[in-house]
């Protein structure tokens, strides 16, 4: 399966520059999708798509555009589930890969957390994003792109 594009849920993505770097290194088109509230500029190999600021506009655009072989970078479990269903490879902003076997657990955990919040209980939330997370993401994306490049005829 040939990698078509790296599609990024870019509204709150902390690793856009790392994605651009890896895309350039491997000759893979990067598509940054964000609402009009976020200022981004196109660079060679980087396409910026800006959509309405409504709640699900970025997710809907990505869900309608993603194809098998694309790499999707998102923090959104629901969007990752849609990406997996369409045959894309989905990564978190920390470089972990969403899989068909892990996504159900993550969606269930999100549902339970939402129910707890509605009843007045609050969880800690995600850990702060670190420089080590940034390095781990770039390493993981580079390793994935290298693997895909080496195995694209299989």
> What residue spans define the domains of the chain?
5-149
- DSSP letter for 43, please: B
Query: What pLDDT shows up at residue 41?
Result: 83
Q: Rounded CA gap, 145 and 154, in Å?
A: 15
Sequence length of the chain is: 154
Give 112's contacts (C-beta < 8 A, 6+ positions apart).
none
Q: Rounded CA gap, 12 and 68, in Å?
A: 24
What is the full per-residue pLDDT of the chain (154 aa) written as tens digits?
Answer: 556 899 999 988 999 999 999 999 999 999 999 988 888 888 899 999 999 988 789 999 999 999 999 999 998 888 999 999 999 999 999 998 988 887 665 556 655 666 666 777 766 666 888 999 999 999 999 999 999 988 876 5
Structural tokens at position 106: 């993550």
Query: What pLDDT shows up at residue 22?
Result: 96
Q: Rounded CA gap, 113 and 16, in Å?
A: 28
The CATH code of domain 5-149 reads 3.40.50
**DSSP output for 70-99:** -EEE-S-HHHHHHHHHTT-EEE-TTSPEE-
Contact 125, 47 (CB under 8 A): no
């Amino acid at each position: 399966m040939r990698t078509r594009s790296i599609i990024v849920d870019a509204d709150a993505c902390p690793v856009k520059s790392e994605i651009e770097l890896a895309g350039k290194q491997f000759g893979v088109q990067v598509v940054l999708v964000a609402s009009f509230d976020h200022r981004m500029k196109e660079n060679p190999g980087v396409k910026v798509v800006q959509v309405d600021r409504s709640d699900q506009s970025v997710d809907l655009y990505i869900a309608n555009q993603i194809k098998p072989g694309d790499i999707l970078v998102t923090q959104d479990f629901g969007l990752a589930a849609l990406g997996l269903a369409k045959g894309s490879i989905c990564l978190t902003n920390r470089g972990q890969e969403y899989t068909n076997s892990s996504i159900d657990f993550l969606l269930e955990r999100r549902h339970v957390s939402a129910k707890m919040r509605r009843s007045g209980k609050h969880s800690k939330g995600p850990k702060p994003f670190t420089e080590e997370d940034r390095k781990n993401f770039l390493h993981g994306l580079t390793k994935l792109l290298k693997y895909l490049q080496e195995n694209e005829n299989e």
